[in-house]
Every structure is written in structure tokens, then in C-alpha cells.
Amino acid sequence: MGYRTYLELAAPLLQGKQLITSTMTRELDRAGQAIDLALQGKTVALVSSGDPGIYAMAAVVFELARSRGLDPGPGGLPVRVIPGVPAVAAAAALLGAPLSHDFACVSLSDRLTPWELIEKRLALAAEADFVIALYNPRSKGRPWQLARACQVIANHRDPATPVGIVRRAQRPGQQVELAELATADQTEVDMQTIVIVGNSQSKVYQGRMITPRGYINKYGERKNSAAG
């Protein structure tokens, strides 16, 4: 079961399986149907892209199981979460190594979260000098959130801070772009895009976005030469 696009990506693994596709915004319906089929004795795989535990379906299944009073034992609803490569890690690998130090992930979707809380999180994450990965940066119905998020972060960070923008990471149609905080909102982003805003130490070197771990600063040229 899953959103059609995700099942198409997994097609080589799905031969001979019963497939149930659904649309993107019916998460509760999909989870409910998966639970019903599992309770009938079927082995059901609910497919997310990326990691199923990060802004994805795993929590929806557990929330629904809880609201129905189901337990994870035999005869109840045994659930196993299979971890995957999160979109943020897939995107970071294409940019270079922007996530090598402390980072925060924030979704800009205010469908289930009040915008005030999102903005508070962005401001505090910026003040803490976290690398900030933005999920769901823009949709047709939410055109303004990315510009506002960049403004909030810019209160604590240089306008020239590098920003990596990755669309459809590691999939057909992949696009990788580097920008700066001051102008990142003018790039083409959508719901399949991850935007990674560097911290105060992040830099771009020959097309790669890097957040140093600090070895060179700490050990300098001596260790560096020894390593060579």
C-alpha cells in the first residue's frame, strides 16, 4: 500500500503482490485500511519514501492503533518499522556534507501545526546555530512560507549563508542547486524538495556545501601533514 508514486519507485520489489494505491492527502484512510487488512491476517507493507518514521506514515499507524485500543501482541496489531534513507540524508549526500554537525529538521507545512509554532522553532534553531533542514518548503496552497522562514533565520545568520536546494533527491528528475540565505526563497522548490540552510561555519568549496566538523581547525596543518 502506498502513494502511487512511491509504489512505482518500488516496482521491482512488488511483482506478484496485491497493490493498493492512494492519494497523497488521505493518510488516515490509508493507515486505517492497512490496519484493517492486517487484522484480517494479511501481511501489509505500508510504503513511504525516505524513512517511514520521519514526517511519514509510521506515527499515523501507531496513532490509529492507539485510538482503536489495539495492542502489538499476537492477535492484535504487530507493527515493525523498517528504517530507510531519510530525504534529508539523500539530499545532503548530493550537496556534499552539510549535516556533519548538529542540525534540526523543520516542516514548513502548517496543515497540522500552527504557523506560530513553526516560526518559533525556526527562530530558536537559528539562534542555536543548527544547520536547518526544511521539509515541505512550498506547495501550491502554501506559497509564502519559505520566504518567511528565510527571513526568520536571517535574523540570526549572515545573508550569505549557503543554502542547498535538492529536488527529487536520488530519483529521476533530480535537481541540485546552491543559493544564499538572502535569495533562497527565489529558487524553484516544491513538496519534493529539501532545503538545507547552513550554520555559521558552513561553506561552499568548489560546488560542495560543507559544514566542517572542526578537525582541521583543531589539529591544523601538523596533523594534516601527518595525515598525508
Q: How far is the CB of 116 from a copy of itself (least distance, A)?
A: 12
Does residue 107 interact with a copy of itself by CB under 8 A? yes
Which has the closest alpha carbon to 1: 120, 110, 36, 207? 36
SS3 96: strand
Does residue 97 interact with a copy of itself by CB under 8 A? yes
SS3 1: coil
Residues 191-220 that bind a copy of itself (CB under 8 A): 205-208, 210-216, 218-219
Instruction: Please list the residues that pair with 178 across neighbouring strands.
Output: 164
Q: How far is the CB of 16 from a copy of itself (least distance, A)?
A: 26
Does residue 82 interact with a copy of itself by CB under 8 A? yes
Does residue 168 interact with a copy of itself by CB under 8 A? no
Kindly determine how many residues on this chain lie close enough to bind a copy of itself according to the rule CB under 8 A.
83
Of the two residues 11 and 112, which places its CB atom closer to a copy of itself in the complex? 112
CA of 6: how far to CAs of 30, 86, 140, 156, 205, in Å? 14, 14, 21, 37, 34
Residues 51-80 that bind a copy of itself (CB under 8 A): 51-56, 58-68, 71-72, 79
CA of 137: how far to CAs of 14, 24, 65, 89, 174, in Å? 31, 16, 30, 16, 16
Q: Which amino acid is located at 70 in the chain?
A: L
**One of 85, 155, 159, 160 touching a copy of itself (CB under 8 A):** 85
Which has the closest alpha carbon to 123: 101, 89, 148? 148
Q: How far is the CB of 115 from a copy of itself (least distance, A)?
A: 13
**One of 12, 16, 172, 226 touching a copy of itself (CB under 8 A):** 226
Does residue 128 interact with a copy of itself by CB under 8 A? yes
| Calpha distance 160→6 (Å, rounded) | 36
* Sign (positive or negative) of CA dihedral 42, 48, 50, 51: negative
Does residue 120 interact with a copy of itself by CB under 8 A? yes
Does residue 136 interact with a copy of itself by CB under 8 A? no
Does residue 29 interact with a copy of itself by CB under 8 A? yes
